[in-house]
Amino acid sequence: MNKKHISILGSTGSIGRQAVEVIAKHPDLFVAEVLVANNNADLLIKQALLLEPNMVVIANEKKYNFVKEALSNLPIKVFTGYDSVLYAAQFGPSNLVLTAMVGFAGLLPTIKAIEAGKVIALANKETLVVAGEIITRLSRAYKAPIIPVDSEHSAIFQCLLGENIDSVERLILTASGGPFRGMSYEELKKVSVKQALNHPNWVMGNKVTIDSASMMNKGLEVIEAHWLFGIKPNKIDVVVHPQSIIHSMVQFTDGSVKAQMSPPDMRLPIQYAMSFPNRTKSDFPRFSFDGKTNLSFELLDQNTFRNLNLAYIALNKAGNMPCILNAANEVAVELFLNEKLNFVQMPELIQACMEKVEFIANPEINDYEKTNTITRQLAFELYKNLK
């Protein structure tokens, strides 16, 4: 396999850190061309010293001199600011861009990478949630394939290889159930931030971990799956699978079901996306068929965990509604992490924004940017009335 030249947008986040680990493990297969971080200058410097990329970007301009000085003895170009992030997304020598920036901020850099014809290893859910129609259109126009990194979408991607999409009866996304599986609405009112950040199976960043606890993560994944695979919303289901061994499934029109299985380890789908269409050997943990682990499934209580239902509503409404959902959720998570909202007030705030922000049926990029700004402003105003 020819070496893949890789840019990582969001190298100091959870996905980015594991991607750096994979690259460092396989120097014969991968070359790091670009590392982009928002604020974590210390870790960015350590990563740059390890991988010696062509260039690094620290988005926070106040940290530029610190990074520049630390790398001054190496032939690594150092840039700063958001324009540099966009430039990095298009950087010439890279042939694969791992988009791992968190939230709405990852949208425009992903678009720039697509317009440059890069292969996109997509780990930023919000890109397809907010602007799925535009992203898929641009991907086709610029012949920039999108390979999913999320474990659920990677599983579906692998299950669909060699299959006719017309033979798909439904996609089945699995959810661990998070730390609050089985809790009642009244119990959820009292949960703490610390409890919400204690995921039973996965180690992730704070925002994604809270989304997982609230089931918004699964709602965003439903929207993302619709755009990635062209499957109608009513053919995308979610089931709770507490062990997180089966990462998702595809049921076909003949009744057969394909599933992708492995112990929960994000390095596997990251490495798969970077290696595709090949598979790379690894020393990742293997699932043991010793009978000590039982695989179980159950339906999700959508009346208690309302975020999944809100995501389906947004997807079926289309237009800028998923953008409203996403922006309101980003604010709700921020407020919860700062202990200004309780757990069950997050979907209340999201629903209020979905009802109040102007709906646009056929939005363009500038409409998404305006919607994101307006929704965030409204959410900060509305949360005071939820107390």
Assess if residue 331 is contained within a domain.
yes
Assess if residue 153 is contained within a domain.
no
Collect all residues with Cβ–Cβ distance below 8 Å to 282 and sequence separation of at least 6: 267, 268, 271
Domain boundary pick from 148, 181, 201: 148
Q: CB–CB of 379/332 below 8 Å?
A: yes
| Same structural domain, 142 and 252 | no
| Same structural domain, 243 and 365 | yes
| Same structural domain, 163 and 66 | no
Q: CB–CB of 359/216 below 8 Å?
A: no
Assess if residue 163 is contained within a domain.
yes
Assess if residue 176 is contained within a domain.
yes
Instruction: Please give, one letter per residue, the 3-state secondary structure of 48-116.
Output: HHHHCCCEEEECCHHHHHHHHHHCCCCCCEEEECHHHHHHHHCCCCCCEEEECCCCHHHHHHHHHHHHC
Assess if residue 274 is contained within a domain.
no
| Same structural domain, 136 and 229 | no
Return the CATH number at 166: 1.10.1740.10
| Same structural domain, 141 and 236 | no
Query: Within its chain, how far is the Cα of 279 from the centroid?
Result: 22
For residue 3, what is the DSSP state?
P
Residue 170 structural domain: 159-262+293-386
| Same structural domain, 140 and 184 | no
| Same structural domain, 142 and 243 | no
Domain boundary pick from 120, 148, 176: 148
Q: Which of 93, 94, 130 is nearest to 111 (CA)?
A: 130
For residue 298, what is the DSSP state?
B
Q: For residue 200, is the peptide bond before it cis, meaning its omega torsion is within 30 degrees of 0? A: no
Domain count, the chain: 2
Assess if residue 92 is contained within a domain.
yes
Assess if residue 41 is contained within a domain.
yes
Q: CB–CB of 282/267 below 8 Å?
A: yes
| Same structural domain, 178 and 99 | no
Domain boundary pick from 98, 117, 148: 148
Cα 273 to Cα 113, 158, 257, distances in angstroms? 16, 10, 23
Do the bridges between strand 168-175 and strand 146-148 make them parallel or antiparallel, or are there none, so unpaired?
unpaired
Residue whose tokens read 């239902």 = 309
Per-residue pLDDT tens digits of the chain, which is 387 residues long: 689 999 999 999 999 999 999 999 999 999 999 999 999 999 999 999 999 999 999 999 999 999 999 999 999 999 999 999 999 999 989 999 999 998 788 999 999 999 999 999 999 888 999 999 999 999 999 999 999 999 999 999 999 999 999 999 999 999 998 889 999 999 999 999 999 998 877 677 788 899 999 999 999 999 999 999 999 999 999 999 999 999 999 999 999 999 999 999 999 999 999 999 999 999 999 999 988 889 999 999 988 999 999 999 999 999 999 999 999 999 999 999 999 999 999 999 999 999 999 999 999 999 999 999 999 999 999 998 876
Return the CATH number at 109: 3.40.50.720
| Same structural domain, 134 and 164 | no
Strands across the sheet containing 77-80: 77-80, 55-58, 30-37, 4-9, 96-99, 119-122, 146-148
Collect all residues with Cβ–Cβ distance below 8 Å to 371 and sequence separation of at least 6: 320, 323, 324, 327, 357, 358, 360, 363
| Same structural domain, 138 and 177 | no
Assess if residue 374 is contained within a domain.
yes
| Same structural domain, 15 and 123 | yes
The pLDDT assigned to 126 comes to: 84
Residue 86: burial class (beta carbons within 10 Å; 0-12, 13-18, 19+): middle
Side-chain-facing half-sphere of 98: CA atoms under 13 Å: 37
| Same structural domain, 138 and 163 | no
Q: Which residues of 165-180 are buried (b: 16+ CB within 10 A; e: fewer)?
A: eeebebbbbbbbbbbb
